[in-house]
């Protein structure tokens, strides 16, 4: 009889221990799932930030490029407006050296302004 009581007590204790360990395992799995969900959310947020930064930088690069193209077009328009026809050669033109130097200086300052605007916008964006 005593053996049967001890056997029942041992069975009840082992079942209790098994249920307790099962409960701990379920809690651990729930914590692991929460950590996995947080990791997925953090990855999505990081990807969104990276995409926003790339879009911002692409916009700035496009703005810088268009500014430089406009400066190049202004230089070409200035040179075209200040060309002189070559005597006795119809359809041929020459551009004086001082006009070319002035156009180059203006282009260089326009590029510097474009770069300054780009740097300012970049610094304000981040």
Spatial distance between the Cα atoms of 92 and 78, rounded to a whole number of angstroms: 17
Spatial distance between the Cα atoms of 41 and 53, rounded to a whole number of angstroms: 18
Determine the longest span between alpha carbons in the chain, in angstroms. Answer: 134
Secondary element (H or E) of residue 90: none
Residues of the chain scoring pLDDT < 70: 126
pLDDT the model gives residue 89: 78
pLDDT the model gives residue 12: 94
Q: Quote the number of domains for the chain.
A: 1
Structural domain for 48, as ranges: 2-125
Region of residue 69 (phi > 0: left; psi between -120 and 50: alpha; otherwise: beta): alpha
pLDDT the model gives residue 95: 82
Structure tokens at 107: 């282009």
pLDDT the model gives residue 85: 78
pLDDT the model gives residue 72: 95
């Amino acid at each position: 009889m005593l053996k049967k009581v001890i056997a029942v007590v041992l069975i009840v204790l082992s079942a209790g221990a098994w249920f307790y360990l099962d409960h701990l395992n379920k809690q651990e799995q729930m914590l692991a799932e929460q950590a996995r969900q947080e990791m997925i959310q953090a990855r999505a947020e990081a990807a969104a930030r990276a995409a926003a930064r790339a879009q911002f930088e692409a916009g700035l690069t496009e703005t810088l490029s268009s500014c430089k193209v406009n400066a190049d077009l202004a230089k070409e328009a200035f040179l075209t407006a200040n060309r002189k026809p070559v005597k006795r050669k119809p359809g041929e033109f020459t551009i004086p050296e001082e006009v070319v130097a002035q156009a180059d200086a203006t282009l260089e300052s326009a590029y510097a302004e474009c770069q300054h605007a780009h740097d300012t916008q970049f610094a304000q964006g981040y």
